[in-house]
């Protein structure tokens, strides 16, 4: 039976450490780190994420600046707001919640946020820095996963790791981080003919597919570490991941549950990036 990786507990511990570091930061510099979150339109899931980001800022002691813009907001108006926040010394992190309405070019938005305030790590400069292993910010989901692996003392050097999914937010940066952690990394995706044949050889399987029960018990080897990034609703409307949890739990050495695994880590990593950004702004003064 696998050990359950408790993302809620690790997240609470990291947030506790961030609270303490924020107290020291405020004592030293006389102000709090600030995070600006922009949401365009009224996607219900995005609204919940944004509310939780604001709550996390309050809990840790950051200033949070929320901009809820109507769906009709033009790309130019949004770019102007980002430029204003780029120039605002009280703002250390800027995040535009995805997805944005279709008339707005998301790539243009991501490239306009100053790399030094890009706490999502979506700017091409930050993406490139991750590639060469010289980075300040890591996208929140991959960052949360490496934090979980470290918290449980899971060995990565020399291990084989399969990442299922090739998104810019999770799959690609995740693969790069695991490479930096000295894994032998393989990425599977929708055009991989036999994903199971690849995952069965893996010491660590990271599933970021978006399909419930995609990773079945017969797709992993005995003792594998299973990290489930999925956030799906099954036929009964219940939140579930990409792995068949009951079957994988029997074979794995470690497994993340959904909910309560990777999910609780992501906003915490955003908070970590925000403090890092504020500290870097002081170091570079
Ligand atoms: N929407 C879903 N996840 C994310 C994220 O990590 N960052 C942003 N900006 N939007 C998201």
**Per-residue pLDDT at 234:** 87
pLDDT in tens, 156-171: 999 999 999 999 999 9
- Which residues make Cβ contacts (< 8 Å) with residue 244, sequence separation at least 6? 213, 215, 216, 217
pLDDT at 77: 98
CB of 167 closer than 6 angstroms to any ligand 1 atom:
no
Q: List domains and CATH numbers for the chain.
A: 30-114 (3.40.50.10860), 140-263 (3.40.50.720)
Pocket residue to mutate for ligand 1, from 93, 120, 171, most atoms within 8 A of Cβ:
120
CB 255 within 8 A of CB 2: yes
pLDDT digits (tens, 9 = 90+) for 52-106: 999 999 999 999 999 999 999 999 999 999 999 999 999 999 999 999 999 999 9
**Contact in structure between 242 and 207 (CB atoms under 8 Å):** yes
Q: Does ligand 1 have an atom closer than 6 angstroms to the CB of 273?
A: no
Report pLDDT for 235: 86
Contact 90, 70 (CB under 8 A): no
Q: Give yes or no for a contact between 260 and 144, defined as CB atoms under 8 angstroms apart.
A: no
Structure-token pair, residue 136: 């300040």
Atom of ligand 1 nearest to the CA of 95: 9
Cα gap 200→230, rounded to integer Å: 19
Candidates 6, 118, 120, 244; catalytic one: 120
Low-confidence residues of the chain: pLDDT under 50: none
Q: What is the mean pLDDT of the chain?
A: 98
Q: Which of 6, 53, 118, 159 is catalytic?
A: 53
Q: Which of 39, 95, 98, 119 to mutate to test the pocket of ligand 1 (most atoms within 8 A of CB)?
A: 98
Instruction: Enumerate long-range contacts of 103-109, CB under 8 Å, 24 or more apart.
Output: 103/74, 103/75, 104/40, 104/73, 104/75, 104/78, 105/75, 108/75, 108/79, 109/75, 109/78, 109/79, 109/82
Q: Is 97 a catalytic residue?
A: yes
Q: How many whole angstroms separate alpha carbon 178 and alpha carbon 20?
A: 29
* pLDDT at residue 55, as a whole number: 98
Name the helix (H) or strand (E) containing 59. Answer: helix 44-60
């Amino acid at each position: 039976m696998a050990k359950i990786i408790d993302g809620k507990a690790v997240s609470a511990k990291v947030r506790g450490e961030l609270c303490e570091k924020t107290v020291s930061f405020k004592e030293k510099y006389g102000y709090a780190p600030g995070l600006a979150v922009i949401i365009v339109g009224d996607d219900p899931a995005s609204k919940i994420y944004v509310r939780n980001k604001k709550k996390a800022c309050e809990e840790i002691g950051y200033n949070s600046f929320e901009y809820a813009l109507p769906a009709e907001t033009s790309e130019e108006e949004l770019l102007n707001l980002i430029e204003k926040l780029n120039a605002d010394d009280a703002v250390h992190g800027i995040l535009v919640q995805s997805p944005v309405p279709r008339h707005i070019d998301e790539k243009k938005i991501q490239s306009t946020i100053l790399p030094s305030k890009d706490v999502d790590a979506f700017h091409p400069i930050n993406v490139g820095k991750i590639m060469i292993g010289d980075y300040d910010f890591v996208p929140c989901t991959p960052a949360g996963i490496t934090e979980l692996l470290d918290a449980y003392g899971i060995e990565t050097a020399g291990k084989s790791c399969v990442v299922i999914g090739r998104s810019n937010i999770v799959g690609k940066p995740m693969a790069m981080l695991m490479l930096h952690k000295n894994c032998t990394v393989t990425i599977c995706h929708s055009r991989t003919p036999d994903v199971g044949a690849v995952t069965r050889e893996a010491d660590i399987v990271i599933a970021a597919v978006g399909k419930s029960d995609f990773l079945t018990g017969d797709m992993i080897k005995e003792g594998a570490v299973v990290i489930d990034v999925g956030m799906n609703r099954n036929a009964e409307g219940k939140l579930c991941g990409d792995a068949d949890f009951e079957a994988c739990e029997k074979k794995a050495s470690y497994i993340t549950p959904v909910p309560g695994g990777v999910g609780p880590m992501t906003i915490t990593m955003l908070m970590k990036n925000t403090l890092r950004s504020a500290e870097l702004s002081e170091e570079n003064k």
